[in-house]
Structure 1
Amino acid sequence: MGELPLFFKLFMGTVFILVVGGFLHVIVRGLWVWSKNNASDLVTTVATVRDKRIHVWGGSGESSANTEHYVTFEMDDQSRIELPVREDKYGLIVVGDRGELTHQGTRFKEFHRSIQS
């Protein structure tokens, strides 16, 4: 059996570099976001819940589906931030709720709803 053709070597080398590069990109970006959030101040502000959404992905064949939950908050200065929220917290938050939002960068910490009388 002879040596592999040059085209095949170049093609497989390119595919290998793209796959490894993709993995490295995901890892570096995740570490960058994680460190940026850790370096951010813990902020507590009055906010109103403006919207909620879920993103479902995967789930074909033998694989299970993944669900991500997001809540959009609006602060008193009219700025908005959408944060990923754990499922157990997501179910307790209702659009229109007003209260104290605590977050660190893009990391949701907690939301305490104000009870209006």
Structure 2
Amino acid sequence: MGFSDSMNGMSTFGTLFIAIVFIIVISTFIFVIGKSITTWSKNNNSPKLTVPAHIVTKRTETSGGAGDSSANTWYYVTFEVQSGDRMELPLRGHEFGQLAEGDKGLLTFQGTRYINFERKIEPRTS
């Protein structure tokens, strides 16, 4: 086995490795797109519901921001409905900022899609 035979083996391995990585990347991309379309379709086929709820907690998730890349922030609010069930829904930043833990009101949602939260102010008792 000479030097050129060894190089051909390495070349074949390199080509195979690149092909496998390419297939994994494309498969992941297709899976993520498919999952997003499935969630979007499921939400569109769900009824819009408006239910009494209160805000249990709020949280953010941030990624990126190192070096030259910009940071991305996702906003989530956990609502509890009268039955005691809880659901965490993603919101936009400006909606997130207008809500506070403990707020009570009417939550409107469709599947896993947040639509609106109308705060109800309770009268003070003295």
Q: TM-score, normalized by length of structure 2?
A: 0.87
State the distance in 1 between where 2:64 and 2:40 align.
24
State the distance in 2 between where 1:12 and 1:71 align.
42
Aligned partner of 1:36: which letter?
Answer: K
SS at match of 1:116: coil
Query: Larger Cα Rg: Structure 1 or Structure 2?
Result: 2
Select 1:21's aligned residue among 21, 27, 31.
Answer: 27
Structure 1: unaligned runs, 5 residues or longer: none
Moved more, 6-15 or 33-42: 6-15
State the distance in 2 between where 1:116 and 1:87 align.
26
SS at match of 2:121: coil
State the distance in 2 between where 1:25 and 1:45 align.
33
**Number of residues of Structure 1 aligned to a counterpart in Structure 2:** 117
- Larger fraction in helix: 2
Root-mean-square deviation (CA, aligned residues, Å) is 1.6
State the partner residue of 1:83.
89
Residue 96 (str. 1) matches residue 102 (str. 2): yes
Runs of 4+ in 1 over 2 A off after TM superposition: 2-6
State the distance in 1 between where 2:53 and 2:19 align.
51
Residue 70 (str. 1) matches residue 53 (str. 2): no
State the partner residue of 1:45.
51
Moved more, 10-19 or 67-76: 10-19
State the distance in 2 between where 1:5 and 1:95 align.
59
State the distance in 2 between where 1:5 and 1:90 align.
53
Deviation (angstroms), 1:9: 2.3
Structure 2: unaligned runs, 5 residues or longer: 1-6
State the partner residue of 1:61.
67
Select 1:7's aligned residue among 13, 16, 37.
Answer: 13
State the distance in 2 between where 1:11 and 1:69 align.
38
